């Protein structure tokens, strides 16, 4: 009997040229030069990006991010608090991940950053969002434009209920990229989490106020 062979090709080590090019692209000066191009791209794309109207008296808010370990669980807990502060009872706030594979639980930087807001993420475990959750949610809240694009591909019937959380922040606070993207702080250090959670805090406040206005209006 002939021996079996693994047909998976071996991973090729990057060449010196590829390593050098990668180092150049990561250099702070090059990143600064790229920044205006990135902002210009998002200015052009962002002109047509807006949230749909909120439904009257929503009962189920579903918060989604990529891995369900940093942004969405924090946002859901904060939203639960903020809607209660506004006297809105019976509003459920849950979270999930579009691809919950980054890590099984919230990293230490997320736990520490959330604790400053009185939110405990230490016991949180990442979960993939289900089709049933998508169908049940009155409002689906995502963090980035790529999440909207993924939902459009995977759950097309839900796209009319998808809201970008950063659009609920005060207008004019950020440039074109961050105006429509609340970027993933995973593996970016403590300051990235602090920045991200400050933004979520402001955006959830805006979202809760908008829900209260729709509910009482």
In order of 81, 97, 102, 191, the CA distances from 194 in angstroms are: 19, 21, 20, 5
**pLDDT over 70, % of the chain:** 83
Tens digit of each residue's pLDDT (9 = 90 or more) over 77-115? 999 999 999 999 999 999 999 998 767 889 999 999 999
Highest mean predicted confidence (pLDDT) among 7-16, 99-108, 177-186: 177-186
Orientation of helix 108-115 relative to helix 190-216, angle to 10°: 50
Number of domains present in the structure of the chain: 1
Question: What CATH number does residue 157 fall under?
Answer: 3.40.50.2300
Check whether 5 has a pLDDT greater than 50. Answer: no
Tell me the average pLDDT across 113-139: 96
Decide: residue 182, CB within 10 A, 0-12 exposed, 13-18 middle, 19+ buried.
buried
Assess if residue 52 is contained within a domain.
no
Tens digit of each residue's pLDDT (9 = 90 or more) over 58-83? 999 999 999 999 999 999 999 999 99
Check whether 34 has a pLDDT greater than 70. Answer: no
Assess if residue 160 is contained within a domain.
yes
Check whether 134 has a pLDDT greater than 60. Answer: yes
Cα–Cα dist 211/33, whole Å: 40
Per DSSP, 125 falls in state B
Tell me the average pLDDT across 1-14: 40
Assess if residue 54 is contained within a domain.
no
Decide: residue 195, CB within 10 A, 0-12 exposed, 13-18 middle, 19+ buried.
middle
The parent domain of residue 66 ranges over 60-216
Tell me the average pLDDT across 39-57: 86
Question: Any idea how long the chain is?
Answer: 217
Tell me the average pLDDT across 43-50: 82
Assess if residue 2 is contained within a domain.
no
Higher-confidence residue of 215 and 100: namely 215
pLDDT at 7: 37
- End-to-end CA distance of the chain, in Å? 77
Poorest-confidence range of 1-5, 11-15, 74-78, 111-115? 1-5
Assess if residue 211 is contained within a domain.
yes
Assess if residue 159 is contained within a domain.
yes
């Amino acid at each position: 009997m002939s021996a079996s062979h693994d047909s998976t090709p071996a991973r090729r080590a990057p060449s010196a040229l590829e390593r050098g090019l990668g180092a150049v692209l990561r250099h702070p000066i090059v990143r600064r030069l790229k920044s205006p191009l990135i902002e210009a791209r998002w200015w052009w794309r962002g002109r047509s990006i807006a949230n749909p109207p909120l439904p009257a008296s929503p009962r189920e808010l579903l918060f989604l991010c990529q891995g369900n370990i940093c942004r969405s669980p924090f946002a859901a807990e904060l939203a639960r608090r903020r809607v209660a502060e506004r006297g809105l009872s019976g509003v459920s706030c849950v979270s999930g991940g579009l691809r919950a594979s980054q890590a099984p639980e919230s990293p230490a930087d997320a736990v520490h950053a959330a604790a400053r807001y009185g939110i405990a993420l230490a016991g949180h475990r990442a979960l993939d969002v289900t089709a049933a959750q998508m169908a049940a949610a009155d409002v689906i809240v995502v963090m980035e434009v790529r999440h909207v694009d993924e939902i459009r591909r995977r759950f097309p019937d839900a796209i009319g209920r998808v809201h970008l959380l950063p659009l609920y922040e005060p207008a004019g606070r950020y440039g074109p990229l961050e105006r429509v993207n609340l970027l993933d702080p995973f593996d970016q250090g403590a300051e990235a989490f602090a920045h991200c959670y400050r933004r979520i805090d402001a955006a959830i406040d805006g979202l809760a106020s908008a829900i209260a206005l729709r509910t009482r209006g």
